[in-house]
Structure 1
Amino acid sequence: MEKVTTPDTPAPAALQRNAGTLERVFERILWNSRFIVLLGVIFGALSAVVLFIAGSLEIFTVLVEYLHVTESHLTHEDILIAIIGAVDFYLIGLVLLIFSFGIYELFISELDIARNHEGIGNILEVASLDDLKNKIIKVIIMVLIVSFFQRILTMEFTTSIDMLAMAISIGVICIGVYFLGRHNL
């Protein structure tokens, strides 16, 4: 029995062509939607720049105040707290840079210019989301350690238990850093 097509019903080949075209258009749109990560790349990099400027201004302010001899001269503790705060800004800026480079490489394209510079490319090279996560985790742990150190400088110790708690905290951080380096996250 022969199949009869009427003017109202399209031929099967035409349906397949339309479905194939629709599928290709949808796949192209879906694939190009990955460019939305450029917002994260751009704003992550801009945030890193802001943090690096803020850290530099923090150090510059301490330097100016330290060199300016007045009655409100900075103590060594004030200088350390400000510089450690600046280092904290730098480390968080690094997290944002690593994140920006990583999502760019994973979703858009490899950074060819980074691969042309020996020694630098491997720092920013990201092979997978797990690799990106591990690099970010390492820097975040360093941020936490620096922040902890900054808090210790401002603590007032009233009892021997306060000193013991601080010593235990530092010991736990050291053990964690040891295992982090040994495990090679």
Structure 2
Amino acid sequence: MRPEALVYPLRWLMLLPVVGMLLGALYFAWHALEETLLAVQKPLDEALPVLVGAVDLALLSAVFLIFSLGLFELFIRKLELPLENALTVESLADLKGKLGQVIIMILVVKFFERASAFKPQTSLDFLLFAGGVALLAAGLWLAKAKD
């Protein structure tokens, strides 16, 4: 008996993290919906930070969904999805790249969330804030240029 015949069925163990990640995606998507519904009931100045938090939760949901479907495609079988460009994973490097893009967007949303609550008091605060915005823009440009 060949060793591959013994190891091949072990790929089904990957269903455990796949299901866990899908549940995580559902959890974050549900909470993003709750945050959005809460924000609709508030005035605009109070709703904006809540909506930014909802975007953050939606991006986390996307990370969990991409990772779970990527693991499924890599270890179990290929999926026939209409959203091939977003969810098709050919290798671990491909999965890492897709996750990296979403994580960068999460960091952008976190920066925006902090920046909207920022109250500069000195000219140095303004300068540091402008530097942070410039670094964020440069990071996004570099991430896009890499593609």
TM-score higher than 0.5: yes
Question: Which position in structure 2 is the counterpart of 1:158?
Answer: 121
What CA distance in whole angstroms lies between the structure 1 residues aligned with 2:44 and 2:60? 26
Q: How many equivalent pairs are there?
A: 147
Question: Which position in structure 1 is the counterpart of 2:88?
Answer: 125
Give % identity: 34
Written as runs of structure 1 = structure 2, the 5 A alignment for 1:1-185 is 21=1, 24=2, 26-64=3-41, 66=42, 74=43, 76=45, 78-112=46-80, 114=81, 117=82, 120-184=83-147
What CA distance in whole angstroms lies between the structure 1 residues aligned with 2:125 and 2:97? 33
- Give structure 1 stretches of 5+ with no counterpart: 1-20, 67-73
Q: Which runs of 4+ in 1 moved over 6 A?
A: none
| Cα distance, 1:164 vs structure 2 | 1.0
More helix by share: 2
TM-score of the superposition, structure 1-length normalised?
0.75
Return the letter of the residue paired with 1:136: L
Return the letter of the residue paired with 1:101: L
Deviation per residue, 1:55-111 (Å, 9 max, x gap): 1101101213x2xxxxxxx461x2111000000000011011110111100011000
| Cα distance, 1:32 vs structure 2 | 1.4
- Give structure 2 stretches of 5+ with no counterpart: none
Larger radius of gyration: 1
